[in-house]
Homo-oligomer: A and B are copies of this chain.
Amino acid sequence: MPDQPAAPGPSSRGPAPHGHVTLSDVARYVGVSAQSVSNALNNPQRVAPETRDRILAAVRDLDYRPNRSARALRNQSSRLIAVKVEPSRDDRAALLLDQFLHALAESAAGAGCHLILCQADDPADEIKAYRELLHTTSVDAFILTSTHRDDDRVGALREWGVPFATFGRSWDGDDELAWVDVDGRAGIAAATGHVAAQGHTRIGFVGWPLSSEVGRDRRTGWQETCESLGLDAGRHAEVVDDFDQGRRAAHALLDAPDAATALVCSSDTLALGVLRALSERGLRAGPDIAVTGFDNSPAAALTTPGLTSLRQPLEQVAQDLVTAVEDLLGDASPRRRHTLLDPELVVRESSLRGPLPVGGHPQKENP
């Protein structure tokens, strides 16, 4: 047994000749068994304080980092969370994914996890890709986005017994599902209330087909607000999330007699289409017709006039998703299974009669 430790100093035994510093390098350095080093790091209470300190000092001295692959192999757990990246279309304004991924990566890092990307072109492929990841990499958990009623992915993951959380609530009232979502109804209600406060009484709505629960939810936000304010809720259109569809819907709504003077939209994409329609009709967004969107995409901030929109608290969403997954991983039942967050209204020129009050800076209202 080699027991010539005693001589500290990083030079006594270089941090492994060719590869990385391993547990046994540290063990040899301190003069204990590898297991003790492992314990000092993972079960500190199992090793005597004095030894533990010596070990931890050595860990710092040698700059030891546990090897993830070895850990994963041994523990059957990789601390890797899989997320799918969408094939982003440039005809959509909302590239939330981008911000979302960053926020997610940050939260995951805080939990000692990493994100691994997964890519698929259709839902069937996606499930296959998930299976592949599970089989090969021992991915620990999944985070799903934009789930819908009877989502096959949810079914598959649950069947496999893998921890996962979704950005998007369980519309079929699945109480077991861990989800985080943004309250679209409240957001749209806030936007509707905002334009009403600007003096508009004929407020229209351009939203998504009612076959999507999100579409229904958002329209409800508009409808309820109108009704509670004693306003007519008859002016609305339901179209798919597409710039040109928004544009056409706006034309149709504005062609009607006694037309709306404000249009609340389900997305920035639709709202930007509406802005285009206004321009085509020689109308000014803001002074003539108020317009609001949803998602606070870069396009909303940078278009002219600025588009009033609703910012989703993606950082919080990401944080809560990671927390949920972490809880599931630690087999503890989640502290909170469902989280519904409020979006934040970001007011810009498109919904104001005059210029922005505080020069240039958008004004924020929390609903």
Interface 0/1 of A54-77, CB less than 8 Å to B: 000000000101111110110010
Contact partner of A304 among B67, B102, B272, CB < 8 A? B272
From A99, A132, A269, A279, residue with most partner B Cβ within 10 Å: A99
Tell me the complex Cα distance, A106–B118, Å.
Answer: 8
A9 at the interface (CB under 8 A from B): no
A32 at the interface (CB under 8 A from B): no
Tell me the complex Cα distance, A76–B273, Å.
Answer: 52
A287 at the interface (CB under 8 A from B): no
A:60-96 near B, CB below 8 Å: 63, 65-70, 72-73, 76, 78, 80, 85-88, 90-93, 95
Shortest distance between the CB of A163 and any CB in chain B (Å): 16
Take A99-B88, A109-B119, A119-B105 as given contacts and tell me if A132 and B65 are in contact as well, using a CB distance cutoff of 8 Å.
yes
Contact partner of A302 among B73, B279, B299, CB < 8 A? B299
Contact partner of A95 among B67, B276, B279, B298, CB < 8 A? B298
> Do residues A114 and B114 form an inter-chain contact, with CB atoms below 8 A?
no
> Do residues B302 and A138 form an inter-chain contact, with CB atoms below 8 A?
no
Chain A residues within 8 Å of chain B by Cβ, number:
62
A:260-310 near B, CB below 8 Å: 268-269, 272-273, 275-276, 279, 296-299, 301-305
A41 at the interface (CB under 8 A from B): no
Chain B residues near A109 (CB-CB < 8 A): 119
> Do residues A93 and B20 form an inter-chain contact, with CB atoms below 8 A?
no
> Do residues A137 and B68 form an inter-chain contact, with CB atoms below 8 A?
yes
A:192-206 near B, CB below 8 Å: none
For A302, give the chain B residue with the smallest CB separation: B272
Shortest distance between the CB of A296 and any CB in chain B (Å): 7
> Do residues B65 and A298 form an inter-chain contact, with CB atoms below 8 A?
no
> Do residues B136 and A298 form an inter-chain contact, with CB atoms below 8 A?
no
Chain B residues near A156 (CB-CB < 8 A): none
For A91, give the chain B residue with the smallest CB separation: B301
Contact partner of A115 among B78, B88, B117, B297, CB < 8 A? B117
Chain B residues near A115 (CB-CB < 8 A): 116-117
A177 at the interface (CB under 8 A from B): no
Shortest distance between the CB of A100 and any CB in chain B (Å): 9
Tell me the complex Cα distance, A119–B314, Å.
Answer: 16
Tell me the complex Cα distance, A123–B114, Å.
Answer: 19
Shortest distance between the CB of A195 and any CB in chain B (Å): 20
Chain B residues near A157 (CB-CB < 8 A): none
Take A132-B65, A298-B90, A304-B276 as given contacts and tell me if A360 and B116 are in contact as well, using a CB distance cutoff of 8 Å.
no
Tell me the complex Cα distance, A223–B189, Å.
Answer: 51
Shortest distance between the CB of A84 and any CB in chain B (Å): 9
Tell me the complex Cα distance, A137–B88, Å.
Answer: 29
> Do residues A116 and B119 form an inter-chain contact, with CB atoms below 8 A?
no
For A114, give the chain B residue with the smallest CB separation: B116
